[in-house]
Amino acid sequence: MAATPSMVRRKWMHDDAVCCGDILVALSDHIFPNYVLHGITRAVFVRLTWRLAEMPSSSSTSR
């Protein structure tokens, strides 16, 4: 049985919701509200990646 566009979209939405939920569960409570409103997982991932890139390296501050 070939997948219809509707079936593909439903599967993508389900998979995206699961992935987004996994990312949001891993966030600490005080920053959760900043990310929960993003529409798709990619938006959450990109924002978190930018935030991590902006943070100073922990290895340089620990020495």
What span, in angstroms and rounded, lies between the C-alpha atoms of 57 and 32?
23
Say whether pLDDT at 59 is over 60. Answer: no
Every domain of the chain and the residues it spans: 26-52
End-to-end CA distance of the chain: 60
Q: Closest Cα partner for 39 from 23, 7, 17?
A: 17
Cα separation, 36 vs 10, in Å, equals 21
Is the pTM for the entire model greater than 0.75? no
Write the pLDDT tens digit of every residue in 9-41: 999 889 888 888 887 777 767 666 766 776 777
